[in-house]
A and B are shown apart, each in its own frame.
Chain A
Amino acid sequence: MIPREVYEQTIFQAIRKGSTTIAPDVCAAFERAIEAESRPAAREGLSKTYDSIRQSAVRDNPACPDTGWPIFYFKVGNQCELEGGFMGLEEATRSAVRRATREGYLRATMKHPLTGYDPGDNVGSNVPDFTYQFVPGSDLEVTYVAKGGGSECFGGTRHRVVAFADGVKGIEKFVVDSFVEATRSGGICPPNVLGIGIGGTANIAANLAKEAACLRTVGSHNPDGEFRKIEEDLYTALNSLGVGIMGIGGDTSVLGVNVEYAYTHIAGICVAISSNCMVARRGSLRICADGTVQEMSSPNWFEGR
């Protein structure tokens, strides 16, 4: 049985880690982008951003003040036992979010959608958000994602239904056109990690796109050849657009393109995209059945990718 104190503290640490440090795969993508950049202004912008990211790890402050929506993914062992059960887990998460906001690891960003009322602690109707995956074993893996408002609100996250007859061309055209629209004047903080969900109902596709953007490691590939080809073709196409950091013009417009899919009704193929900010933030920790806590460099949400 994992004590409540242990999982609440671990969730807080996942928030702190996700807000203040950037995962090794994202850092490696930054280093590749800086190395490859031919335009001086873009190279300087990337370098300054990467410097600030590294300073946040030392200063123990958020890598970007827009910590956005607090989103949690729990990978739960089928034999995992929690003191207080799963309602306790959600209550502990809300408590950890309140503490992280109070201590400056999260900005008080979540507000009432009509009045703008600010509870001041990032906790309200349907926020924070919880997603669960059940696996063999007795561990609990906790991933916190800071889903920034720039990449969410300015066109980088959306969906449409494409006819089966329109095939991969229809899917890819939607992605390219959407990305171009969304990166005008740098609203979505490019270069982005772009997640794409193909198939399922609109919400299934949107969830897959979000998970592909926020949980897949940058540089990983879908093991299915047809989807890997879409990832690679779109990575090349989007990086030929010249969007660059914050839309100012540059060689890198996406850090990665990750595709996930669901079986679907082929009357219409839902395609969803979800952009993650270049300052792509996530923090994962594993709690073993005996209460020990282990570091994880990636959420391991999609079995090794």
Chain B
Amino acid sequence: MATYYLKAPLSQQDVEQLRIGDVVYITGDVFTCRSRLHRWVLDEGHPLPEAGKERDVLIHVGPIVLPQPEGQYKLISFMPTSSIRFEKWGARAVDEWGLRMIVGKTTMGEQTMEMMKRKKCVHVSPQCVSPNAWVDSIHIDDVELFDELGTIEATWHMTVDKLGPFVVDIDCEGNNLYKNHEQEVNECRDKALAQLGIGPDFAYTKLY
């Protein structure tokens, strides 16, 4: 497992070298997106915000931002949100928006992983909840769709400086870090149930 300091926008080579378990820090221009932007663009046919056309690192996040006088914005708190909830839109987002990296909590599902493998894109996730460390690494440049979608669903343009650490949980080869860990937990679960006196033959009485 290696540590990489990457500059966005990313090259195909930047992401192809990454393997699950590697740690990344990102510097450069990124943009944000949540449920309503996915629906806005991919279901309702509105154009992708300008930020998405120029940037290839997407962060699934709903930050707390307070508008300041003279059009400035103050970032109060930042923690990536769960990516798996966007699975229905994931493959199209990777394909149509030309993404190289998605930052989000949890992971993505099979269809998005397949598209990531084809298009060379990775998913990275935080392994702690440390909004205060991240707020200090982020500058907000601009926002799109603030009035239409609200503060946390709008697209924020951010410049980030060594934002991380994030761990690669999906690489371009179709590997998933959490899927590997799942097997270990399943084995522990069987032992834990046995210690509680619940054997593999236990069956619930069918009430419905």
Contact = CB atoms under 8 A, between A and B. Distances in A.
Contact of A48 (B64, B133, B198): B133
A257 to B, nearest CB: 13
A49 B152 contact: no
Interface of B is mostly: mixed
A246 B193 CA distance: 22
Interface string A168-185: 011011001100100111
A173 B77 contact: no
Given A237-B195, A240-B191, A242-B184, A186 B152 contact: no
Interface stretch (A10-18, A104-112, A216-224): A104-112
Interface stretch (B11-19, B51-59, B92-100, B123-131): B123-131
Contact of B127 (A41, A163, A278): A41
A116 B36 contact: yes
B132 interface: yes
A108 B77 contact: no
A241 B128 contact: no
Given A65-B64, A66-B79, A116-B35, A154 B189 contact: no
Interface size class of B (residues with CB under 8 A): 35 or more
B105 A183 contact: no
Interface stretch (B110-118, B155-163, B200-208): B200-208
A118 B62 contact: no
Contact of B151 (A108, A169, A183, A189): A108
Interface size class of A (residues with CB under 8 A): 35 or more
Contacts of A245: 127-128
Contacts of A66: 62, 79, 81
B130 A240 contact: no
A165 B205 CA distance: 8
Given A66-B81, A116-B35, A173-B193, A241 B130 contact: no
A242 B190 CA distance: 12
B129 A279 contact: yes
A118 B207 CA distance: 41
B41 interface: no
Given A166-B204, A186-B105, A44 B128 contact: yes
Interface of B: 35-36, 39, 62-64, 66, 74, 76-79, 81-82, 84-85, 105-107, 125-133, 135, 149-153, 167, 169, 178, 181-182, 184-186, 188-189, 191-193, 195-198, 202, 204-205, 207-208
28 contacts: A44-B127, A46-B128, A48-B130, A104-B66, A107-B152, A108-B151, A116-B153, A150-B82, A162-B205, A166-B205, A169-B196, A170-B202, A170-B204, A170-B205, A173-B196, A173-B204, A176-B189, A185-B84, A237-B193, A240-B191, A240-B195, A241-B185, A242-B185, A242-B188, A246-B125, A246-B129, A247-B181, A249-B184
